[in-house]
Chains A and B, each alone.
Chain A
Amino acid sequence: MRRSWQMNILLALSLAFLCLLILLPFWWVVSSSFKEPQEIISRSPTMVPHSFTLQHFQKLLSSSAYPTYMLNSLIVSTISAIITLMLAVPAAYAFFRMHFPGREVMYRTILLAYAFPSIVVLIPLFGMFVKLGLVDTLTGLVIINVTFALPFSIWMLRSFFAGLPKEIEEAAVMDGASTLVILRRVMIPLITPGIASVGIFAFILSWTEYVFTSVLIVSDAKRTVPVGFSGIIGQYQIDWGMLLAGASFAVLPVIILFSLVGRWFVGGLTEGAVK
Chain B
Amino acid sequence: MRGSTPLAIAFVAPALLLLAAILGWPLISAVVLSLQNIRAIGTGGELIGFDNYAEVLSDATFWRAGGISIVWVLANAVVQTILALITALALQQNFPGVRIARTWVILTWIVPTVVTVIIWRWLFSSSGGMINPLLMQLGVIERPIGFFNTPTTAMATLIFINSWRWFPFIALMMLAGLTRIPSDLYEAARLDGANSWRRFIRITWPLLAPTMGVLLVIGTLLSFNVFDIIWLLTSGGPAGGTRTLPVLIYETAFKSYNLSEAATISVLATVFLMGFALLATRYISKTEAQ
Which residues of A are interface residues toward B (Cβ below 8 A)? 1, 3-4, 7, 11, 14-15, 17-18, 21-23, 25-26, 28-29, 32, 40-45, 87-88, 90-91, 93-95, 97-101, 106, 110, 113-128, 130, 143-144, 146-147, 150-151, 154, 173, 179-180, 204, 207-208, 210-211, 215, 225-227, 229-230, 233, 240, 243-244, 246-247, 250-251, 254, 258, 262-263, 265-266, 269-271, 273-274
Contacts and interface: CB of A to CB of B under 8 A. Distances in A.
B103 A262 contact: yes
A30 to B, nearest CB: 10
B111 A208 contact: yes
Interface string B1-31: 1111101111110111011001101110110
Interface in B89-133: 89-90, 93-95, 99, 101-108, 110-115, 117-120, 122-123, 125, 127-130, 133
Contact of B112 (A7, A114, A122, A250): A250
A98 B128 contact: no
B287 interface: no
B65 interface: no
A250 B115 CA distance: 7
27 contacts: A1-B94, A42-B133, A45-B133, A90-B11, A114-B218, A115-B274, A116-B273, A116-B274, A120-B269, A121-B30, A123-B33, A123-B253, A124-B30, A124-B33, A128-B29, A147-B22, A180-B7, A204-B110, A208-B112, A226-B113, A229-B118, A250-B112, A251-B111, A254-B110, A254-B111, A263-B99, A274-B176
B26 A121 contact: yes
A206 to B, nearest CB: 10
Nearest to B108: A22
Contacts of A94: 3, 8, 11-12
A117 B11 contact: no
A130 B41 contact: yes
A14 B86 contact: yes
B15 to A, nearest CB: 4
A90 B12 contact: yes
B37 interface: no
B196 interface: yes
- What 4 A-B pairs are tightest by C-beta distance, nearest first? A124-B29, A98-B8, A94-B11, A124-B26
Interface residues of B, number: 102
A225 B114 contact: yes
Given A87-B18, A99-B5, 9 more contacts: A44-B133, A91-B15, A122-B250, A124-B263, A127-B29, A240-B128, A246-B118, A250-B114, A258-B110
B161 to A, nearest CB: 10
A117 B18 contact: no
Nearest to B168: A22
B44 interface: no
Interface string B156-181: 00000000100011001101110110
Contacts of B245: 117
Interface stretch (B50-58, B146-154, B223-231): B223-231
